Amino acid sequence: MSLTEAPRVSKWPYLFADLILVAAAGWVGWQASPHWSWKEMSIVGGLVSLGSWTFIQPFNRNHEAAVKLWEQMNLASAASQLASLDTVARQIATATGQWHQVQETSAKTVATADDIARQIVSEAKGFSEFLSRSNDAEKGALRLDLEKRQRSEQEILQVILHLLDHCYALFQAARNSGQPQLTQQLGNYRAACLDAVRRIGLVTIESQPGEGFDPRRHQTADGSEAEHGTPIVGTLAPGYSLQGSIIRRVLVTFESQPEANTSNLSAESPS
């Protein structure tokens, strides 16, 4: 390297540091998405600004070294040529003007970096708001779909209970007819139906004659409340439980209570 050439600052450490800062900013942004806070946005902006400042440092230092070398060469020339003081003064003035120009350029570069950082923060905020609005709209659609599914499940459950009640009525009619073969066939049919609905957690609840009345499991045909422990004579319609929770109590009769019409029982909404 000649004496007329200023030593160059190695750029790769600065570029490596700048790469690390930009990667850290990207990592913070990735970790914070999709919900950005002011803290993450400030960190990303600070890392990007620091990375920009680090990126221009080797060029700035090389320029400063070149300027210093240039000034030293001119000072040496001034020392050897004291007679040409006016020329040296003009050269110094020129160097000072260039130095001011360099400072102005550096200030403009820093200002530009600040503007870029503010623009990044503003765009990140807008993107975060967009994601929030999209998330709210998606939640509303999912909530509406869930309500539709719940209504559909309730209607399907009511239809199943209605069919099971008719199946029980057929079985009771066959048992009262005194025909063992017909009773066995309808009993097998009802058992198959109950086994099918048991797969979804729907279990029938029946009461035996002589069992004590329990208001948590039993209800009367006319809707009145019977005393706890009153002996039950028969079952008009079975009750049902869904996944361990009772959704309809057993409709029972007592000795002094007449039988009631159960045609509308299965159409009731399960509680």
Q: Over the stretch 139-155, which tens digit does the pLDDT of each residue have? A: 888 888 888 888 888 88
Find the farthest-apart pair of alpha carbons in the chain and give their distance in angstroms, rounded: 143
Condensed to tens digits (0 to 9), the pLDDT of residues 88-117 reads 677 888 888 888 888 888 888 888 888 898
How would residue 270 be classed by pLDDT, with cut points 50, 70 and 90? Answer: very low
CA distances from 213 to 58, 228, 265 (A): 93, 5, 19
Q: How far apart are CA 48 and CA 23, in angstroms?
A: 9
Q: Is 269 within 8 Å of 248 (Cβ atoms)?
A: no
CATH code of the domain made up of 153-253: 2.30.22.10
Separation of alpha carbons 184 and 91, rounded Å: 121
List CB contacts of 35: < 8 A, sequence separation 6 or more: 128, 131, 132
Bridge partners, residue 234, by sequence: 253
Q: How many helices (H) and strands (E) does the chain have?
A: 4, 6
Q: What is the pTM of this model?
A: 0.42
